[in-house]
Amino acid sequence: MNESSTSRHVVQLDTTVPVWEQFFTVAPLVLVGTRDPDGALDLAPKHMVTPMGWQNYFGFVCTPRHNTCSNIDRTGEFTVSYPKPSQVLIASLAASPRDTEDHKPVIDYFNTFPAEHIDGHFIEEGYLYFECRHHKTVGGFGENCLIAGEIIAAYADEHYLRASEADDQETIHAAPLFAYLAPGRFAAIDRSNAFPFPESMKK
C-alpha cells in the first residue's frame, strides 16, 4: 500500500496515560441538577454527554466520588440545563469545590427555576432543558460510570427550535451553541454547513 502524505503526519499516542489530554475534541456542555441529602440544589457541569439512541434517553459520564452520582442513585431523577455561550462563567462556577460542610455556596447565587414533574431546578437563560428519570447506571469504566436517564419532559428557548420555514444555518447564526473543546477551552458555534449524507442513508 502506498504511503500517503497524510499518513506520514499521524503519530502514535501514549496510552499509558489517558489519551484525552493530548488533543482537542468537541463536546456539548451541560449542567446536571440534583438534590443533596439535605435538600440543597447541586448543579454540576458535564461534557461527556450524549443522546442514548434515537428515543428519549440521555446519558453522561460521572464518578461515584461525586455527589451527582449518589444523589441520582438516591432520588432517581435529575435535570439537564444546556447553557448559552454567554453563560460560560456560570458553567465554570458550577465546578467550584464544596466547602467544609459539603455545600456549594456559589449555587445560591444562580438564578434558577423549578422543574415541572420532578424535584429539581434549571438555570435560567439556558436554551434546552430536560427532566430525567434515572434509567440505569453502568459501572466499570475505570473509576467512572455511565448514568442514563429517560427524558420525561423537555423545554427549549423558542429561538433555538428548528422550523420548516427557516434555514438551519440562519437559526444557528441567530442562536449560537455552546461547545466545550476538551480539555479546557470553549467556543460559540454560529456557523455550520449541511452534512452531505448519501441519499440512501437510513437511521
pLDDT of res. 140: 94
Residue 2 has pLDDT above 80, yes or no: no
Domain hosting 138: range is 25-189
Q: Is residue 202 a part of any domain in this protein? A: no
Own/partner long-range contacts of 42-45 (Cβ < 8 Å, ≥24 apart): 42/67, 42/68, 42/71, 42/104, 42/107, 43/81, 43/94, 43/104, 43/107, 43/110, 43/112, 43/121, 43/123, 44/68, 44/94, 44/95, 45/91, 45/92, 45/94, 45/95
pLDDT tens digits for range 31-51: 999 999 999 999 999 999 999
Q: Where are the alpha helices (DSSP H) in the chain?
A: 67-75, 88-93, 168-174
What mean pLDDT, rounded, does the chain reach?
Answer: 92
Residue 3 clears pLDDT 90, i.e. is over it: no
Residue 8 forms part of a structural domain:
no
Inform me whether the pLDDT recorded for 175 exceeds 90: yes
- pLDDT of 203 reads 73
Mean pLDDT over 171-199 rounds to 94
In a domain, 174, yes or no: yes
CATH number of domain containing 61:
2.30.110.10
195 domain-assigned: no
Please give the average per-residue pLDDT across 115-135, as a whole number: 97
Looking at residues 144-172, what average pLDDT do you find? 94
Number of domains in the chain: 1
Tell me: pLDDT of 4 over 70.
no
In a domain, 6, yes or no: no
Q: Pick the most confident of 86-95, 150-159, 193-202.
A: 150-159
Residue 23 has pLDDT above 60, yes or no: yes
Tell me the pLDDT band of 1, cut-offs 50, 70 and 90: very low
| Mean pLDDT for the stretch of residues 100-104 | 78
Nearest by Cα to 185 from 22, 44, 25: 25
Is 72 domain-assigned? yes
Give residue-wise pLDDT tens across range 127-146.
999 999 999 999 999 999 99
Assess if residue 130 is contained within a domain. Answer: yes
Establish if 9 belongs to a structural domain. no
Q: Give pTM, 2 decimals.
A: 0.91
Q: Which residue has the higher pLDDT, 97 or 62?
A: 62
Q: CA 122 from chain center: how many Å? A: 13
